[in-house]
Structure 1
């Protein structure tokens, strides 16, 4: 499909908010591959997915992502219905985290995820102890991310390839219980007047630090 045609297509996010994205109905003949969704082929695909997944079923997309997921997990504490969790989930999808773990309240604000949670494995833990027990059973060290006294600079830390990056809730940051179970707590260098950056931004920085160290970029291993 030409870029001119693409520009004429009405666009929308999966949840109906914001500018529209996507492509219109697929021209005939349709592909026979079972990964394609016939309804999307007929009506167009307006989902917030990269072009390689246009017209694919959700199940096919998840199955393909599962063959390539990275070795890090992301966990975030949710004691007060933090609005940043959706952003963390969206970023975890972008950097292809193995799983996202919600610690505390089961319900979280999904709007910021922009429907990316449909393609991301999300696991719930009622408390930090249950997250720790799960991580220990999987042989995964927990790496806390927070600007706390005694924290080591993330910029000078060799993150483990297999690990859980744990983030606190917006405002209070990592709980005392979370700090106790973390192998190490890493801080993110800041240079301005604000005391902290929000949890969504901190998560993106930490995930990208892992990606820079371990991810294969354009077919080239790190």
Structure 2
């Protein structure tokens, strides 16, 4: 946990007597007495200041978008934390880690506490889950024969799959995808960072549906 103690807010003004309560005088159960007393230094928007972790997740669950994000993790990809953080920012339904269960959480900046993360040992497991849920799988990679993300009508409910950094989508993921989408590039580099690609694709979904 790397919470920045310079951000956030201090103790609730006015002390315990001013804490948010119900009409019967009991403390509003969304609020954490420890945070109210000592301050809230977490990386959360103001709406959730002083709320318990459970209350924040419960509220997010009422508003989550129906798109999912999956990333292959065969070589302990360091981008996964960034993908999780972005998925939290865009309120994805879930993030799916395919391959190695362990991943570097540092880049998530604690957002994995608020974002549902599911593990699948193989691509086949992910695909079986998606089929059971009725969700089309869309790969994102700049491969020959791929379709431009720009202008593509993304399904409202879907799974966006991203490959391992440097090697891209695995053959199994490509075969499972309804379409593979690429992000337009205009410079000299062959590809962009997987975390950046995931952010662009998620924002494309948000621009169409949110």
TM-score by structure 2 length?
0.94
Structure 2 distance, partners of 1:101, 1:24, is 35
SS at match of 1:124: strand
Per-residue deviation, residues 141-186 of structure 1 (Å, max 9, x unmatched) = 0000000000000002100000000000101000001000011000
Structure 1 distance, partners of 2:34, 2:143, is 51
Q: Which residue in 1 is equivalent to 2:193?
A: 198
Per-residue deviation, residues 15-74 of structure 1 (Å, max 9, x unmatched) = 14x673100000121112110000000000000000000000000000000000001000
TM-score by structure 1 length?
0.89
Alignment of 1:79-90 (within 5 A): 79-90=74-85
Per-residue deviation, residues 121-143 of structure 1 (Å, max 9, x unmatched) = 00000000000000000000000
Runs (4 or more) in structure 1 with deviation over 2 Å come to: none
Count of paired positions = 201
Q: Which residue in 1 is equivalent to 2:19?
A: 30
Relative distance call for 1:24 and 1:97 in structure 2 (3 A) is: same
Q: Establish whether residue 104 from structure 1 lines up as the match of residue 91 from structure 2.
A: no
Structure 1 distance, partners of 2:7, 2:108, is 16
Structure 2 distance, partners of 1:156, 1:185, is 14
Choose from 152, 164, 167 the match for 1:169. 164
SS at match of 1:155: coil
Residue segments in structure 1 that go unaligned for 5+ positions in a row: 1-13, 216-222
CA RMSD of aligned residues (A): 0.9
